[in-house]
Every structure is written in structure tokens, then in C-alpha cells.
Amino acid sequence: MIRLAVVSGKGGTGKTMVTAALADIGGVPQVLADCDVDAANLALLLAPRRLTTEEFRGLAAARIDPARCRDCGICADRCRFGAIVRRDDAWTVDALHCEGCGVCAYACPMGAISMEPRVCGEIYTSTTDLGDLAHARLFPGSGNSGLLVTEVKKRAAALSKGADLMLADGPPGIGCPLIATVGGMGAVLIVTEPGISALHDLGRLVTVCRRFDVRIFVAINRFDLAEDICREIEDYCAKEDITVAGKIPFDPAVVAAVQSGRPATRGDSPAAEALRALRDNLFRELGLQ
């Protein structure tokens, strides 16, 4: 099975639009994963039907037992995140600030603090007309999105029996969620655009992805809005021996498709034609056709 992650150096490049398009016209047995758990939008374009829902528990949070607390304040003094606060004349834990490090529990002389698991989000499996989908939602203010990405990939792997392709919509940037997404993948498609910071973001992302020994491809979205910067991106890719698998023009039909909650390939337009060419080039390189 080919494992392909669609990623980007920044948000707003059209990464999810490209992922949905590839899923729509893939033509191979596939399983889908939305690894952009901080802003999971792939489901908005695929009309999923929910199969399962389960809690995601991240790192533990501190809890103070008021019956055992002797009001010494040592825990508040040791906490470097400002998570232990005074409320109603007693010490309590502000869960939004607690990083789960456990220093307060270690320092408390009365053993009044325990570390307890906390629910940070939900993990879903769904079915769509294009294949099964693993996705998730991280609750506002919760961390550990890299851990949640790993759990989403596990669910996708469990759904992948008989699939030739695992297609993941990855997160933007180069942080922990991106690292969790790219790990174990065979290839990545970087979606970029001809913006002022595009080449810088692309270079950072390529540097990170190469640490994982994956094949790297690039798609340039809205390439015709700044063709001089587009040529700079193409020159960079040629220098780095990276295949530019496709160039997608700016097209109001894409905006209309996304607003309607459907893949951009459900119709005839310049962008849809370019997305089909991207699919053909990419799948040929990956041996999927």
C-alpha cells in the first residue's frame, strides 16, 4: 500500500482542496485520514457518515484534593506554567494552563496532588463514497495534537484492508503534528503557492521531510497569480531534484466547489483539468497506474 501525505508549509495554500480532489479522482481502493486535527476540514468536502466516536485522552492534568491540602503553596511556587491558582480561598488547578509535567505532585509534601487523564478531543471513523475516513477533533485549548495525529493514523491503518492507497490530509507548518503525519509515510505532496513567503516555507518543509526518507513532490496552487515567484519555486525544485507534479491555476470554480462542500473535480474547469493532470503525474510516479 502506498502511503501519501498532502502537506504544506503554511495554512491556506489549498492543501485540503487538493487532498479531496485526489481522493475524488483516485480510481484506486483507498483509505483516507485527516491528520490536520487542529483544523480538520477534509470531512466538509466528503460528506462522511459517522461509524464510531471515541474519546481522546492526552497527557494527564493535576488535581488537588482539598481534604489533604494544607495550604502551604509549595505547588504554586514550583509550577512554571501558572496553572495553580487561588480560588475561593483554596488552591486549585487551571486546566487550560496545566502542561501535565507532574512537578506539583512531586513537590507536594502532603501527597494532595494526583495526575489524572483528561479528555482532549474525539476520534472518529466514518465512511464516504470515496473510501473510509479516519479523522478527529481536538478540543479548544487542548495540546498533544501530535499524539492525536498518531491515533488517527492508527485508525486509518485499521481501516486499510484491501486498500492500495492511504491518503492523508496533513497539517501546515513543520511542528509536531507534521512530524507525526510524515513518519511512516512513503511520499509527501507539498502544496505551495507563489506568495512572498512561499519559497522560504517550502525550503523549511523539504528539510524536515527529508529527515524521514520520503519521496517528495510539489504542487503549485494558483500558480498564475505571480508567475515570477512560480518560476523561482520551479527553479528551487529543479535544484533540489524535486518533481513538480502539477500546477493549478486560480479558478473561481474551486471557490464555488468548496463553498458547496464538494471536491473541485466535480465539474469541468481549468483547475479541475489541472488537478486531473496532477493526479496522473503523481500516481504514475508512485506506481499506482
CATH number for the domain harbouring residue 109: 3.30.70.20
Q: Are residues 126 and 150 in the same domain?
A: yes
Instruction: State the burial class of residue 87 (Cβ atoms within 10 Å of its Cβ: 0-12, 13-18, 19+).
Output: exposed
Pairing status of strand 119-128 against strand 165-172:
unpaired
Per-residue confidence (pLDDT) for residue 254, from 0 to 100: 96
Q: Are residues 93 and 236 in the same domain?
A: no
Per-residue confidence (pLDDT) for residue 144, from 0 to 100: 72
Task: Look at the block and give the residue holding cell 457518515.
Answer: 49
Q: Are residues 18 and 49 in the same domain?
A: yes
Q: Are residues 84 and 161 in the same domain?
A: no
Tens digit of each residue's pLDDT, the chain (289 residues): 999 999 999 889 999 999 999 999 999 999 999 999 998 999 999 999 999 999 998 888 999 999 999 999 999 999 999 999 999 999 999 988 898 999 999 999 999 999 998 888 999 999 999 999 999 998 887 777 899 999 999 999 999 999 999 999 999 999 999 999 999 999 999 999 998 888 899 999 999 999 999 999 999 999 999 999 999 999 999 999 999 999 999 999 999 999 999 999 998 999 999 999 999 999 999 998 7
> Tell me, what CATH number does 271's domain have?
3.40.50.300
Q: Are residues 31 and 95 in the same domain?
A: no
Per-residue confidence (pLDDT) for residue 289, from 0 to 100: 73
Q: Are residues 10 and 26 in the same domain?
A: yes
Split into its structural domains, the chain has a count of 2
Residue-range definition of the domain harbouring residue 106: 61-116
Task: State how far the Cα of 49 lies from the Cα of 51, in Å rounded to an integer.
Answer: 7
Q: Are residues 169 and 274 in the same domain?
A: yes
pTM more than 0.75: yes
Q: Are residues 110 and 133 in the same domain?
A: no
Per-residue confidence (pLDDT) for residue 192, from 0 to 100: 97
Q: Are residues 202 and 242 in the same domain?
A: yes
Q: Residues 87-96: contacts with CB within 8 Å, 24+ apart?
A: 90/66, 91/64, 92/64, 93/61, 93/62, 93/63, 93/64, 95/61, 96/141
In three-state form (DSSP H/G/I as H, E/B as E, the rest C), the secondary structure along the chain is CEEEEEEECCCCCCHHHHHHHHHHHCCCCEEEEECCHHHCCHHHHCCCEEEEEEEEECCCEEEECCCCCCCCCHHHHHCCCCCEEEECCEEEECCCCCCCCCHHHHHCCCCCEEEECCEEEEEEEEEECCEEEEEEEECCCCCCHHHHHHHHHHHHHHCCCCCCEEEEEEEECCCHHHHHHHCCCCEEEEEECCCCCHHHHHHHHHHHHHCCCCEEEEEEECHHHCHHHHHHHHHHHHHCCCEEEEEECCCHHHHHHHHCCCCCCCCCCHHHHHHHHHHHHHHHHHCCC
At residue 135, φ and ψ (nearest 5 deg) are: -150, 175
Per-residue confidence (pLDDT) for residue 34, from 0 to 100: 98
Q: Are residues 135 and 34 in the same domain?
A: yes
Q: Are residues 160 and 281 in the same domain?
A: yes
**6 backbone φψ class: left, alpha, beta (φ>0; ψ -120 to 50):** beta
Q: Are residues 214 and 72 in the same domain?
A: no
Task: Look at the block and give the residue holding cell 494558483.
Answer: 222
Task: State how far the Cα of 215 lies from the Cα of 188, in Å rounded to an integer.
Answer: 6
